[in-house]
Structure 1
Amino acid sequence: MTDDTKSGRPRDLGIAALRGLALALVSLPGAVLCFVLSLVSLVLIPIGVGIVTTPWVLTGVRIFADWRRVLAAEWGGVRIPPTYRALPKGAGPWTRTFGMLRDPATWRDLLWLPVDMTAGFITAVLPAALVVYPLEGFAIAAGLWRILPDGYWYGFVRVTDQTSALGAAALALVLLFFAHFFTARLLQVHFLLTRAVLGSDQGELTERVRVLTETRRDAVDTSAAELRRIERDLHDGAQARLVAVGMDLGTIEMLLDKDPAKAKQLVAEARRSSAEALAELRDLVRGIHPPVLAERGLGDAVRALALRLPIATEVNVELSGRAEAPVESAAYFAVSEVLTNAVKHAGGDRIWIDLHHTNGMLRIGVTDNGRGGAVIGAGSGLAGIERRLGTFDGVLAVSSPVGGPTMVTMEIPCALS
């Protein structure tokens, strides 16, 4: 349920009424037009004309249905994922026509159109009627009854004089009382009706499988890239230094009797090389899974990240426990990447980090006062973060108008221990 359905404030009633009226004005003519064009185009298929027109008409129906899906999500909090089958690229009219007609989602769209122009219209116009109709009753009591036809009916009240006009006002007051509780809920019924016809459990399952397949592939690619990075860092860094230390020790062994001074110098160099190799190994381990994250949890690990930044950073943590290790690791490296982007590209002088857990969701917000303009695109660090979070059904949202500020919000469903 959305906030509108939970509140009966006048502003919420007005918003629900306006939205219902807008939906009513669109659902009836839009659904009628789409339905008539679809019916005509399908009838014309046997004579060949429909082969050409049907793909265009059904595409228009899909656009109309997708727009209503967006409204259902934004106005009612009702998510209706589209489940249309993909058509071959470059397909001709024949393939497109019968490919779309074999898609169950197409027939759900066509079934939804008459439902939307009837029951959908009623459930959309009722919220507006519940708010507007009482206004007529109050206007009648205020004197409008004098210019109305004799025996005018307001609801079940026959208005003939001031007394009956006051009865109309009393009825209007009762209707307004019900509007207070049911206007937003009736609008919610409209969206639930839309989902009942347009939605598909099988379609949602298919979409879920598709998302899981993509995130699994991304996780495998990320893991492979991480393994290659570790191998490269070991080969070019610590391994090379340890090989050099081994060679120095061999040389030292030969010089111990012949040139003790030179051997002593090489021992000092070997000690420095071993210390540098150890430092590189520690950095490498910290990059795989930071010890502070394993020992003290996500909150302290993010605080440690903030302390190493060259920009003033404020961290607010409200976590009552710890998430599972893979979730903490994904969240940590996502925050690390966002902070790296902010330092490199934002050009700001302050960063705010907020971590909290509510309603089974780990929410992380990172805000900077930089120049803005950040977008999620292919090849960007933000796209990598989105893929990382997607492995855990997490989502990434970015608000970054030109001129700033930039707000990056991450959400991962999880439970805290």
Structure 2
Amino acid sequence: MSAEAGFGFRRGGIAALRGLWLVPAMIPGLVLFCLTVTFLPLMIIGIGVLVVPVLVVATRSLADLARRRSLAWTGVEIPRPYRPEPEYDRGIPGVVQRCRHVLADPATWRDLLWLIADWVVGLFLSILALGFIAQGVFGLLHPFLWETLVDAGDSGWYTFLKVDSDGRAMLAVLLGIAYIFIGFAIAPAMLKAHAVFTRSLLAPTQKAEMRLRVAQLTVSRTDAVDASAAELRRIERDLHDGAQARLVAMGMNLGAAEALLETNPEAARALLTETREASAKALHELRDLVRGIHPPVLADRGLGDAVRALALESPLHVDVTVDVPGRLEAPVESAGYFAVNEVLTNVAKHAAAQNVWIDVRYRAGRLRIEVTDDGRGGAALEKGTGLRGIERRLGTFDGTLALVSPQGGPTTVTMELPCVLSSPKTSPS
């Protein structure tokens, strides 16, 4: 048997066993369906109002498990279609509001339909391949069993083959081998078909996708406005506390030096020296401020060289790999640059890392930035505002952030931004 054939059998066997596992996995769904349809009529006496939202949450958890399983086993991604949870009042009014919210969500009823439909369509798709394999194994046993079966009153039919002799039993063996091959061959396709069927019920409808998209854009717009306002306040504060204060002091020093120029030249010279130093510091602060708004290296040489400049300034050992065959749009480059800058700052402050690897790539209309460190791990989006800020910054461009950080490390932050190349590359990477 060739390695390719062996891989095919192994893949088919894994798919068949996964299909078998789906059968007991459907049992909790059937229980939830029965409980939900039982308590729905009891809403008129109040009991259902308390119980139905709990059952809906359990159903959604089961549906989320099916989504993750579909992605892990077949690569079929199933987005969540549920409406965002609003703020509820406290006490009984809040319970009633929550019940109304979940029942008004069309995804709730599609989940219920999935629970019961999975026992019909899903069950068939799950066990079809295993049924062929089991039938094939039964065919392999016919040379030893056919006489016993006929003596016990069996008709002797093996699918479409009448087995009433040793010769026919050997034909049953050949037919059984064919069934086994068919079972292993169709198992991955049946598992994929089950995932597609699941997606047809658990994924958002076109109308729901539009509603979720509008909600996401509303949040992104709010985040963008808040981020812009915060950036303006930072610039104003830096100007007021830094360069502006130094420029005011320089004006006062020059006025004092002018008054002392004839009466006390030495004091005037000292004030002019102090003013010159203050002007150098003010210029340095202004350059830092401009660099914080849009670094010159980013404007001149693009994201790759700007990230390399960050790596050189970092106290850690940073390896950078860049594969971006052109210049990106300026807003996307800026978002990617400041996201990498924030991640590197977080690593230096909190990760206790020695080495960092940054991989910047452009593939299929998306900029992908992966930052990995060898620190202690344990990072989480919920633990601080830094990563959440990056996520909000990327969200304004429809970008995403994924974090993998087990205890003990390593930590990997993956950021993706949809974008297009606006010009050919002008600098080496």
TM-score for both structures, normalised by structure 1: 0.88
Residue 307 of structure 1 pairs with residue 312 of structure 2:
yes
In the TM superposition, what is the alpha-carbon distance from 1:97 to its structure 2 partner? 4.6
Question: 2:357 is matched with which residue: 349, 352, 359?
Answer: 352
1:50 and 1:288 map into 2 onto residues whose CA distance is 56
Instruction: Describe how 1:126-165 pairs up with structure 2 within 5 A.
Output: 126-140=128-142, 143=144, 148-149=149-150, 152-165=156-169
What is the match of residue 107 of structure 1? 109
Paired AA for residue 191 in structure 1: A
Aligned with 2:384: secondary structure? coil
Please give the residue correspondences for 1:231-250 in structure 2 after superposition, counting only pairs within 5 Å. Answer: 231-250=236-255
* Contact in 2 for aligned 1:230/1:284 (Cα 8 Å): yes
Partner of 1:197: 201
**3-state SS of paired residue (1:411):** strand
Tell me by how many angstroms 1:265 deviates. Answer: 2.0
Q: CA RMSD in A?
A: 2.7
The 5 A counterparts of 1:1-400 are 9-27=8-26, 29-45=27-43, 50-76=48-74, 77-84=76-83, 86=85, 88-90=88-90, 92=92, 95-140=97-142, 143=144, 148-149=149-150, 152-179=156-183, 181-199=185-203, 200-377=205-382, 379-400=384-405
Contact (CA 8 Å) 1:34, 1:61: kept in 2 or not? yes
Residue 427 of structure 2 corresponds to: none
Does the residue aligned with 2:361 lie in a helix, a strand or coil?
Answer: strand
Question: What are the superposed Cα offsets for residues 127-153 of structure 1, whole Å, 9 maximum, x if unpaired?
Answer: 433455434444546x56565546544
More off after superposition, 29-38 vs 242-251: 29-38
Give the distance between the partners of 1:377 and 1:231, measured in 2 at CA: 30
Q: Which residue type is aligned with residue 162 of structure 2?
A: R
C-alpha distance 174-310 of structure 1, shift in aligned 2 (>3 A): same
Distance 1:387 1:265, change over 3 A: same
Secondary structure of 2:381 counterpart: coil
TM-superposed deviation, 1:399: 1.7
Judge which range, 370-379 or 42-51, deviates more. 42-51
Q: Which moved more, 1:70-79 or 1:43-52?
A: 43-52
Q: Distance in 2 between matches of 1:312 and 1:50?
A: 60
Shift of 1:167: 2.7
Match of 2:315, SS state, is coil
Name the SS of the counterpart of 2:339 in structure 1. helix
Aligned-pair CA distance for 1:62: 3.4
**Residues 2-30 of structure 1 deviation map (CA, whole Å, 9 limit, x = unaligned):** xxxxx973332223222211112222x33
| 1:254-294 Cα distance to aligned partner (Å, 9 max, x none) | 22222222222222211111111111100110011111111
Q: Which residue of 1 aligns with 2:3?
A: none
Q: Distance in 1 between matches of 2:277 and 2:230?
A: 31
Q: 1:301, CA displacement in angstroms?
A: 0.6
Letter in 2 for 1:185: A
Task: Tell me, in whole angstroms, the C-alpha distance in 1 between the residues paired with 2:41 and 2:250.
Answer: 84
Matches of 2:278 and 2:55 in 1, distance apart? Answer: 72
Unaligned 5+ segments in structure 2 are 1-5, 423-429
Cα pair distance change 1:256/1:81, threshold 3 Å: same
The farther-off stretch of 243-252 and 287-296 is 243-252
Q: How many residues align?
A: 409
Q: 2:188, 2:209 → 1: CA distance? A: 26
Change (3 A) 1:110 1:286: same
Query: 1:337: Cα distance to partner?
Result: 0.9
The residue aligned with 1:4 is none
Contact 1:354-1:364 at 8 Å conserved across structures: yes
**In 1, are the aligned partners of 2:134 and 2:180 still within 8 Å (CA)?**
no
Q: Is the 8 A contact 2:399 2:416 kept in 1?
A: yes
**1:31 Cα deviation (Å)?**
3.8
CA distance 1:135–1:388, shift in 2 (3 Å): farther
Higher mean C-alpha displacement, 29-38 vs 319-328: 29-38
The equivalent residue for 1:3 is none
Q: Is the CA contact (8 Å cut-off) linking 2:83 and 2:212 kept in structure 1? A: no
- How many angstroms apart in 2 are the aligned matches of 1:24 and 1:70? 17
Q: Does 2:427 match 1:402?
A: no
Distance 1:361 1:269 in 2: 51
Instruction: Assess if the C-alpha contact under 8 Å between 2:129 and 2:187 holds in 1.
Output: yes
Q: What is the rounded CA distance, in whole Å, between the counterparts of 2:90 and 2:136 in structure 1? A: 56
- Residue 53 of structure 1 and its aligned partner are, at CA, apart by 4.3
- Give the unaligned 5+ runs of structure 1: 1-6
Moved more, 161-170 or 47-56: 47-56
Secondary structure, counterpart of 2:401 in structure 1: strand
Between the aligned partners of 2:336 and 2:288, the Cα distance in structure 1 is 19
1:416 aligns with 2:427: no
Which of 251-260 and 43-52 deviates more? Answer: 43-52
